[in-house]
Structure 1
Amino acid sequence: MSTGTGFTYTLTRTLDAPADRVWQAWTTPDRYARWAYAAPGSVEMDVRPGGVWKATVVTPDGGEFPLTGSYLEVERNRLLVVGMDVPGKPAPQAMSVELAEDGTRTRIVVRQSCDTAEERDTAEQGSTMLLDSLTAFLAGDAAN
């Protein structure tokens, strides 16, 4: 498992949703597809340590990119460490998603270390887009 060599980013947000709703958004295929730019029907998740996941991301210009990986750590409503398969790399890249509930709100922290500054910048940009979309998804409907 690759944790990178020191080119790290950390993104923190406070979401207007309890940790359980945030967790469900990250770990339920149909919910994840609705906010994570995934093609409908492309998301599969076996959310347990060692379980695998896959999704096909659709870019704004219509391009499709299949993603695969596994779950490294799973603590319901608290921590999700995801291994992402990266073409050309011998080991998956790890990304952590930490949740801390504060009443009806949740602080989310996304962390990832990469091998190069360019990889870090690209990953950070993608994660920022995901958090923006997640924030909008959670705000859109309390029944998400």
Structure 2
Amino acid sequence: MGLLIARRSPSTRKSPLKLEPNPPTPEEIADSLVEFERFCEASRIEAAEVAENRRWLRPIGFVTRLLTYAALFLLLYIWAPKDISNTPLATLTLSDIAGTVCFAAIGIVLIRALFNPSDDDKTKDVWGWLGVALLGVAVIAALYLFKTR
């Protein structure tokens, strides 16, 4: 048995097409830099506009979030199930137990959401715009009520 020995070609063999990469011209580099500067300037302007928008929107969003949670806690209190702590277990129904478990679960979720708000800027902006919308609805409702009297 003979061994077949393959001859390796040199790894620095040149392409038969003789293609070589062309370095970018100084004009192309300058154009790229100008475009990059324009993009950065546009980003800075947009960031400044967003920061200006958030300056007045964030306090409205904070108050809206607190008032919304207050309303949800009030609804939870109004629709609280009856107290089953002193009721014998044999007289309880599945509805009584499920109502108490759901009441406790909803209360825990609301407390967690109240004390751990989202740090996302978009979420904070949504709370602000929700506050602006609710304020607009309240003004329209007040004008309607005063006009009908």
TM-score (norm 1): 0.27
The structure whose residues are more often helix, as a share, is 2
**Which has more radius of gyration?**
2
The structure whose residues are more often strand, as a share, is 1
TM-score (norm 2): 0.26
